Amino acid sequence: MKPRAVVLLSGGLDSATTFAVAKRDGFEIHALSVDYGQRHRFELRAAKRISAALGAKKHLILKIDLSVVGGSALTGHMPVPKDRPEKQMDGDIPSTYVPARNTILLAVALGWAETLGAKDIYIGVNAVDYSGYPDCRPEFIRAFERVAALGTKAGVEGGRFRIHAPLANRTKAQIIRKAVALGVPLKWTHSCYDPDPKGRACGRCDSCRLREKGFAEAGMQDPARTPSIRSNKGGIH
């Protein structure tokens, strides 16, 4: 019998690749997606398709409305940053940061893992090609692993939870190559922070631009590419 793992699956490129890595590692996958009031809910539709295609044992979509808390362009009405230079993406924390999002997501994943008797949780955070989010850093993941040991019945009784972040130190191009090697259906992944009502990518937000840069560096065409609702002015520079 395969050991169980909970995989946080947003529907984006990184989380889909993380799912495939966990499957390769020999786990029975219990995928967890969260509808937190994000403006890019198209990613949840992508998560459903990816979960089915990659063979999750179960896919749970949980609603936790963080738009009530606010504080982010992804859950409120403030504009999503567009056309930011790469140096600016690396240098500050943008308005698309959702306060404590990964802390909340990992906490829910931890609760489900404890219920399932699973000791392993996978999350697709990245600390190389990312937009400066503090909860994507390796030190945060290690700190949460310590929280899991101290704050759960399983941990107190001697169990050890492992928080896997297999993409933490990979570039977007490396992640794309890994996804292709593992058979991830990249055409179904959704990355845009500000899609139009039909789900078409804007081509200008940080996530769109990092994705475009990754495919270019990997020497590949993005299979999910659709006409963007605004022109991309020159890519990342």
Q: Where are the domains of the chain?
A: 4-218
Topology (CATH) of 4-218 = Rossmann fold (3.40.50)
Give residue-wise pLDDT tens across range 166-190: 999 999 999 999 999 999 999 999 9
Distance CA 105, CA 100 (A): 9
- Give me the DSSP letters along 170-195: --HHHHHHHHHHTT--GGG----SS-
Tokens of 199: 């789900």
Give residue-wise pLDDT tens across range 12-57: 999 999 999 999 999 999 999 999 999 988 999 999 999 999 999 9
- Torsion angle in degrees (nearest 10) through CA of 21, 148, 73, 61: 60
Distance CA 125, CA 135 (A): 8
Give residue-wise pLDDT tens across range 223-236: 998 654 444 444 44
Distance CA 155, CA 157 (A): 5
Q: Can you tell me whether residue 23 is helix, strand or coil?
A: helix
pLDDT the model gives residue 233 = 42
Distance CA 235, CA 171 (A): 17
Distance CA 26, CA 34 (A): 24
Distance CA 213, CA 161 (A): 34
Q: Can you tell me whether residue 138 is helix, strand or coil?
A: helix
Tokens of 24: 């390769």
pTM of the predicted structure, to 2 decimals: 0.93
Give residue-wise pLDDT tens across range 198-210: 999 999 999 999 9
Residue 88 confidence class, pLDDT cut points 50, 70, 90 = confident
Distance CA 73, CA 59 (A): 27
DSSP single-letter state for residue 110? H
Distance CA 208, CA 190 (A): 9
Distance CA 66, CA 75 (A): 7
